[in-house]
Amino acid sequence: MLQRIDKLRQTLKEKNIDAILVSNFYNILYLSGFKTLTENEREAWMLITARNTYLFSDNRYINDKSQITNNNSIINNKFLIYKLITPEKGLIKHLEEIFQEEGIKNCGVEADNLKLLEFQQLIKYFRETMFVPTEKLIIKQREIKDEDEIKKIKKACEIVDLCLKDILRLIEVEKTEKEIAFRIEFWLKEKNYDLAFYPIVAIDENSAVPHYDTRNGNNKKARSGSIILIDFGAKYQDYVSDITRMIFVGKPTDEQIDTYNKLLGAQTKTIKYLTNLASINLGGGRGKQVDQYCRQMVTENQLPNYQHSTGHGVGLEVHEYPKISPISEDRLLENQVVTIEPGVYFEEKWGIRIEDTVLVKKDGVETLTKFSKQLLNI
Amino acid sequence: MLQRIDKLRQTLKEKNIDAILVSNFYNILYLSGFKTLTENEREAWMLITARNTYLFSDNRYINDKSQITNNNSIINNKFLIYKLITPEKGLIKHLEEIFQEEGIKNCGVEADNLKLLEFQQLIKYFRETMFVPTEKLIIKQREIKDEDEIKKIKKACEIVDLCLKDILRLIEVEKTEKEIAFRIEFWLKEKNYDLAFYPIVAIDENSAVPHYDTRNGNNKKARSGSIILIDFGAKYQDYVSDITRMIFVGKPTDEQIDTYNKLLGAQTKTIKYLTNLASINLGGGRGKQVDQYCRQMVTENQLPNYQHSTGHGVGLEVHEYPKISPISEDRLLENQVVTIEPGVYFEEKWGIRIEDTVLVKKDGVETLTKFSKQLLNI
């Protein structure tokens, strides 16, 4: 955590900002290890100045020994000064005190997270401190994973591999989308892991909807001849993985076999391309190059282009940087973790997507989700 | 939905606003029935003008027949004009077109939801349209539930009653917090319901932490003599319930029995107080009065005061308006649904909280969570 905060301080210095007020739930988790019950209810804030690191939270957490004992970064850890928010002394009063003590003249805010109303309240109260809207400072830092983060993501990838193996055995004809999603969820939770996001289980024509919502869908049943798309991820110690595999019930049609193999070719070639990009041209490769390459591999094979991005970073969140999209200028760098997930969709008929989570390394790329991509039929 | 939008249009008229851009996930769900996969990734927007209602979303949802067929309000419903967001034509371009067509001079934004960055992008692009920060316009409207909403909340309350009954049978000595939480989750999801929030299951000294986080806690085991706090809610067709009950394993101490009975007295008296307030003084009762009354009932009995609010509204979200807190000026009105949940906490020893979800009616109050509040021991 200390290294992460030091890195952030460097960025602040470069930008001539005295301090930054952190509101984003995941950024707080990343910088302090502190996690509130809800993501969206502003139960914690952080302030990082040149001298100190402050964590603000209310009394609902003060007796929460679990946060203190389970997580050696909180309170008992010297780098963090804990400030209690009470009805009498809210965030603003605390900030006022600290700004005065440390002579803070300007303070960054996370413009991509802070609400307009919160910003208005800050600038209304503080006449002498300038609040500087910043964008993605910490989120961009989170692109590059440290050793501890990579270890956790690797484990989250191992977990989906194991889960898929068990789930496959459970899928027979006459299982519905929701039942399969439910099996995945309980497989994970039973073992004290969590879902990275609610699984997408899409059968037949539903697999042609790239963003199919299994929870609100029509809960199609797998029958003989069905095609099942399973897109899910595990969460291990706050870090996630992301994988998509296809399952064919009985014998797939020739068109499906052909499409699957072509798409698989495009996906594996793209991972290889990323390897070359990373090893030869490190620092030069950009998200849009990888996206373009993958689309080319798909369309060269007479398959239709897909409407979504080719991939995205993963970490504490399922969608992080770098983005691998047609317009992404994000650099591909060592120790990033990204997905490669092209798809082919035939509207109202069926769709196929193949997705892996991969780690970009100095000398290439390591595919972290190792579950077989051989055409699977049951 | 149409009535909800009409009501909102009235508010806009009163405030002299031509239109409102809706970004809040739950407000979009409330006004259109449309639900995106994630709450926070801005996958949908709405614009309500005096003439039309627009829904903006991207192609990931366009083929999503489930949203169209399961929910008669989307697309095929005449009140809603669907606008597709593409890389070429984003939200801003769509807004420009509509503002021009309809002569929109000023447009409300949800300042309590819109990000500072999003606001900056809007005001930078539109030189001739004024964006008016509004606060809680739709959220305040959602305080008062309509018939359909009440029906769903009632069902969500029936579900927690049934769940508790079954879960009680499953709790024996040597069950851990996480196992009990898991059982609750499993019970709900198996039946195609959902959790309103992750259950708080807190055993012994953990029950003294009002906001105990079972997921990150020390997973205490229930033993003979243990006190178990279970605070959870169900979600039924997007609407939630909220309940807290205590379970004593074996014989509670005299102090625990005494505390439980005193707290129960305070809680039921507060519900009665709300009844009187609602029936005699409708439109006059305020959240802070109920909060104050409940605290008085607790402290008059020589019990320590609690640090959290006495209650909150529930609906699409677990924490809605009105608030029942020491500083809440919110009016208590017919067809609101609120919780009443005082607690007593003895730090590092044990705590007790009793919570019901109640409906405020013209002629009193109906307790929707009907599970017994008799001292429960197993």
Minimal Cβ distance to B64: which of A61, A182, A209: A209
User: Looking at the predicted structure, is the pLDDT value of residue B65 above 70?
Assistant: no
Residue B198: its chain A contacts at CB < 8 A?
37
Q: What's the mean per-residue pLDDT of chain B? A: 91
Q: Give the H or E element holding residue B320.
A: strand B320-324
Contact list, B87 vs chain A (CB under 8 Å):
326-327
* Whether the Cβ atoms of residue A280 and residue A304 lie closer than 8 Å to each other: no
Give the count of beta carbons closer than 10 Å to the beta carbon of residue A255.
11
pLDDT over threshold 60, residue B217: yes
The ipTM estimated for the assembled molecules is 0.85
Q: So where are chain B's domains?
A: 2-141, 147-367
CB pairs under 8 A, 24+ apart, for B131-136?
B131/B21, B131/B106, B131/B107, B132/B15, B132/B17, B132/B106, B132/B107, B132/B108, B133/A116, B133/A117, B133/A120, B133/B108, B133/B109, B134/B15, B134/B17, B134/B20, B134/B108, B134/B109, B134/B110, B135/A117, B135/B110, B135/B111, B136/B112, B136/B321
- The beta-carbon neighbor of B35 closest among A135, A189, A216 is A216
- The DSSP call for residue B215 is G
- The CATH class for the domain spanning B2-141 reads alpha beta
| Average pLDDT, integer, range B348-359 | 97
Non-local (6+) Cβ contacts of A166 within 8 A are A187
Q: A270: closest CA among A289, A284, A251?
A: A289
Does A66 sit within 8 Å of B213, measured CB to CB?
Answer: yes
């690191």: which residue's tokens?
A: A53
Closest residue in A to B347 (Cα) is A63
Give me the residue from A114, A189, A308 closest to B182, CB to CB.
A189
Percent of chain B with pLDDT over 90: 75
Of residues B182, B158, B156, the one with CA closest to residue B238: B156
CATH level 3 topology of B147-367:
Creatine Amidinohydrolase (3.90.230)
**CB within 8 Å: A117 and B109:** no
Q: Answer whether A281 touches B (CB < 8 Å).
A: no
Residue of B nearest to A190 (CA): B182
Note which residues in 134-153 of chain B have CB less than 8 A from chain A: 135
pLDDT band of B285, cuts 50, 70, 90:
confident
State the DSSP string of A80-135: EEEEEE-SSS-HHHHHHHHHHHHT--EEEEETTTSBHHHHHHHHHH-SSSEEEEE-
Q: Which residue has the tokens 């609100």?
A: A216
- Contacts A–B by Cβ distance under 8 A: 135
One-letter identity of residue B181: A
What is the rounded CA–CA span in Å between residue A107 and residue B19? 34
Q: What is the chain A residue with the closest CA to B220?
A: A66
Task: Find, among A42, A50, A36, the residue nearest to A8 by Cα.
Answer: A50
Please indicate if any CB of chain A lies within 8 Å of the CB of B119.
yes
- Closest residue in chain A to residue B38, using alpha carbons only: A197
Task: Give pLDDT, residue A97.
Answer: 97
Which residues 50-109 of B are in CB contact (within 8 Å) with A?
Answer: 59-61, 63-67, 69-71, 87, 109
Rounded distance, CA A362 to CA A280, Å?
9
B211/A contact by beta carbon, under 8 A? yes
What are the structure tokens assigned to A220, written together? 């199609």
A60, A111, A319 member nearest B116 (Cβ): A111
A347 to chain B: which residues are within 8 Å by CB? 63
B197 and chain A in contact, CB less than 8 A:
yes
Between chains, do B112 and A117 touch, taking CB under 8 Å as contact? yes
- Mean pLDDT on B260-288: 84
Distance (Å) from the C-alpha of residue B205 to the closest C-alpha of chain A?
Answer: 10
Low-confidence ranges of chain A (pLDDT < 70): 60-78, 278-284
pLDDT of residue A58: 81
Which residues are CB-neighbours of A247 under 8 A, at least 6 positions away? A168, A171, A227, A228, A230, A376, A377, A378
Using an 8 Å Cβ cutoff, are A154 and A347 in contact? no
Give every CB contact of residue B139 below 8 A, 6+ residues apart in sequence: B24, B27, B112, B320, B321
Mean pLDDT to the nearest integer, B161-170? 94
Q: Is the pLDDT of residue B34 over 60?
A: yes
- The Cα B12–Cα B26 span in angstroms is 19
* Residues from chain B contacting residue A37 (CB–CB below 8 Å): 197-198, 211, 213
B231-264 residue pLDDT tens: 999 999 999 999 999 999 999 999 999 999 999 9
Half-sphere exposure of residue A53: CA atoms within 13 angstroms, side-chain side:
20
A218 and B66 in contact by Cβ < 8 A?
Answer: yes
The answer to whether the CB atoms of A114 and B111 lie below 8 A apart is no
pLDDT of residue B60: 66
Give the pLDDT band (50/70/90) at residue B76.
low
* Amino acid symbol at B146: D
> What is the per-residue pLDDT for B35?
86
Mutation site for B-interface testing, chosen from A29, A66, A71, A292 by largest number of B Cβ within 10 Å: A66
A2-141 and A147-367 agree in CATH topology: no
Asked if B67 and A216 come within 8 Å (Cβ–Cβ), the reply is yes
Per-residue confidence (pLDDT) for residue A69, from 0 to 100: 40
pLDDT digits (tens, 9 = 90+) for B317-337: 999 999 999 999 999 988 999
Please report how the helices A254-280 and A287-300 are oriented relative to each other, as an axis angle in degrees rounded to 10. Answer: 150
Using a CB–CB cutoff of 8 Å, tell me whether A213 touches chain B: yes
* Per-residue model confidence (pLDDT) at position B67: 52
